[in-house]
């Protein structure tokens, strides 16, 4: 099934420490308020099936699979993944929520994987922390700190995927300036609309 529409908002599970509550709604007006956006979007999980290790879906229900359905050996491949989240897309007929899992999220975010975002985010936070510490008088960098700086410098040699990812989210939510995307959707009639009946498979930008 194909739908031509624009993205109006994203709905995801907030991190446990977030002040925004259990569900977090992100649109172009509230994007700057999300200080823990990486923790809200990214978690440890299976890179093949996109199943998180925190065991809960968008409604707080247990949804973790013991076996990986995408691996012949039924073993999960652990790593950093995008948590399942919903995007609400608007077309001429109205608004439809689409479930987005890890692989579809990578396509949505221009093939930027969660591992790269997480690594660059950690480097960014380390740099921010070091800037504050080095501004204090009498600061001495020990061996551990030196190793972390070396690791960060290696990370800086490749693109800052964290910053690129933030720009991508901002662009995706800029509904008034975007042409409609072509969403390829999988329909599961056994699920409710708000619980993932429509799942994003891929998307493309139509050529004018």
Encode pLDDT of 33-60 as tens digits: 777 889 889 999 999 988 887 655 555 5
70-74 mean pLDDT: 87
Residue predicted with more confidence, 104 or 64: 104
pTM of the model: 0.79
| pLDDT, tens only, 129-142 | 766 555 545 445 45
Instruction: Identify whether the C-beta of residue 204 lies closer than 8 Å to the C-beta of residue 182.
Output: yes
Share of the chain above pLDDT 90, in %: 43
- What count of other Cβ atoms lies within 10 Å of the Cβ of residue 180? 17
The residues, ordered by sequence, that sit 6+ positions from 73 with a Cβ below 8 Å of its Cβ are none
d(CA 4, CA 201) in angstroms, rounded, equals 14
State the pLDDT at residue 58: 52
| From 3-17, 65-79, 81-95, 178-192, the region with the lowest mean pLDDT | 3-17
Encode pLDDT of 139-179 as tens digits: 454 555 555 555 555 555 779 999 999 999 999 998 777 77
pLDDT at 106: 96
What pLDDT score was predicted for residue 93? 86
The radius of gyration of the chain from alpha carbons, rounded to an integer in Å, stands at: 19
Q: Which of helix, strand or coil describes residue 199? A: strand
188 pLDDT higher than 90: yes
Residue 200 DSSP label: E
Q: Would you state the pLDDT for residue 163?
A: 94
């Amino acid at each position: 099934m194909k739908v031509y529409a624009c993205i109006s908002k994203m709905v995801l599970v907030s991190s446990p420490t977030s002040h925004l509550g259990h569900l977090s709604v992100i649109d172009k007006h509230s994007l700057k308020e999300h200080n823990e956006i990486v923790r809200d979007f990214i978690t440890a999980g299976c890179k093949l099936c996109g199943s998180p290790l925190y065991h809960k879906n968008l409604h707080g229900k247990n949804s973790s699979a013991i076996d990986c359905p995408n691996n012949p050996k039924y073993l999960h491949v652990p790593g950093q993944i995008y948590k399942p989240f919903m995007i609400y897309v608007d077309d001429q007929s109205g608004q439809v929520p689409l479930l987005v899992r890890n692989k579809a999220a990578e396509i949505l975010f221009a093939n930027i994987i969660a591992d790269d975002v997480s690594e660059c985010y950690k480097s960014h936070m380390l740099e921010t922390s070091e800037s504050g510490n080095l501004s204090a008088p009498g600061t001495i960098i020990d061996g551990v700190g030196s190793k972390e700086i070396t690791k960060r410098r290696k990370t800086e040699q490749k693109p800052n995927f964290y910053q690129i990812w933030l720009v991508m989210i901002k662009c995706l939510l800029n509904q008034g300036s975007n042409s409609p995307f072509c969403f390829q959707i999988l329909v599961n009639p056994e699920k409710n609309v708000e619980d993932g009946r429509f799942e994003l498979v891929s998307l493309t930008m139509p050529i004018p």
